[in-house]
Structures are given as C-alpha cells and as structure tokens.
Structure 1
C-alpha cells in the first residue's frame, strides 16, 4: 500500500573499520565526489566513504533539504554558510564544515538553486 508520499533516505549505513554505523541525514554536512570516490562529511567533522554515486544520492535525498550544487557537491540547506555573486552568472558558496573555498553553483543550476533557497 502506498500513501502517495515519496520516501527519501533518512540514514546512511557506513563501514567504520570492522563495524557498521548508522548516520542520520540530519548529521550530514555535505557529500562530495572526488574522482570516482564519494565521501560523506558529517557536521561533527568526520569523513566516511559511501558506495552511492552522486547521481543516485540526488534521487534518494529529500530535495526540500538537499541540493546538487554542481558535479562534485550535494549539500543540505543547513550547511550553506555564505553565498556570493560571481562572474558569468555563477554563485560562489561557502559550506559550514568544509575547507573548500571554491564551490560554485553552475550557471545552469543558479535559477533552480535560488528557487530552492526561496521556498
């Protein structure tokens, strides 16, 4: 029986040494792809390897809370720290708990990003 509501991911099961741990999506600071490897960063500063590619995660994370910023990052609204206008119609953003200072919203995604922020 379906209720008509979509079901989005509420937690991640990740390997930590020889153990498996559960990380709630509420604890996710951002997800970053580095070449073919995808890392989940938590708000407490931990980094975990996950198996899901960003394209799949984008479909399973609640779009009300998470946005695919570019080819490399998916982040929740709660992690967005600063947004600056940048040349060529792009936006430069800073994420809390992230050392990368060069995160850009591509021109193609800027309109959707602004609509998402303004909900």
Structure 2
C-alpha cells in the first residue's frame, strides 16, 4: 500500500463518520509504514577479519555455478553470497533485475544487446562482460523484451 492509497483509505474512513482521532490515524499510518516491504539495497559480505558492503546498483548480473552464487560486479570482480537464486529473485527490485534462467539474474541497466537464437530463444549480452552470453527461453523472451522496453 502506498501513501496515496493510505491517504484515500483514511479519507474514506473519516467520511464514514467514524470517530478517529488524529493521534489514532497517525499510529495507524506509522504501523503501516513500518511493515512496508523494501527491496534489498546492499549486501554485507565477510571480508578478511570483518565485513564489506556491496551496493545492489554495483551488480552487473548474478550467476550460479556449481551451486555457488556469484555477484558479478560492474568493475569486473565477483563476490560469493550465501543466498539462493530464488531468494535473490524475490529480494531484488523487479524494475531492475530479471531472472533470465536458472543460472542468471540480469540488471536491466547493463543489457547491451539482445540477439535472436534458435527456436524463439534470445541471447543477452551485458556491458562489461562481452564473453558472457545468457540464453533466455522462448517462454521468457517476450517478457524480457517488454521488461526492457518500458
């Protein structure tokens, strides 16, 4: 629920003649804001004797290889995360990240090229990773094109 919807609900309740006080409405608003879902913004990763952070905006794509999940970063480096691809798919903002297949989640900001492939599939090439070719199934190809072209 966004703030406009909340405001409309509050106005509707007020017009219905309910005896809500400003304090009660503020408490309701505060409770709803606390429970508001937020997509992941960064990762806290073990590093030497401590930790380091990686911002989601620094991720070019995410790849799984031999059951290990790698964040492939814009600077060409990689970081291992202890989170499954399914969990990441739900934690990352779908406005920016797309699950291309079982092995890859891609960042829309780094899509360089979409190529046609056999049987209605697509090949995705990413900025900064010219040797990486990501296959997208025929079933997901149309959704990917619509996702990019918005």
TM-score of the aligned structures, taking structure 1 as reference length: 0.91
How many matched pairs?
119
Larger helix proportion, structure 1 or 2? 2
Root mean square deviation of aligned Cα: 1.6
Q: Helix, strand or coil for the counterpart of 2:128? A: coil
1:13 is matched with: 44
Deviation of residue 35 (structure 1)? 2.0
1:61 is matched with: 92
In 1, Cα distance between the equivalents of 2:128 and 2:64? 16
Residues 1:2 and 2:32 aligned together: yes
TM-superposition CA deviations, 1:29-53 (whole Å, max 9, x none): 1110002100011111111110011
Q: Which has the higher contact order (CA 8 A, sep 6+)?
A: 1
Which residue among 121, 125, 137 is the counterpart of 1:90?
121
Larger strand proportion, structure 1 or 2? 1
Q: Helix, strand or coil for the counterpart of 1:8? A: coil
TM-superposition CA deviations, 1:76-102 (whole Å, max 9, x none): 111111111112000011112225443
Name the larger-Rg structure.
Answer: 2
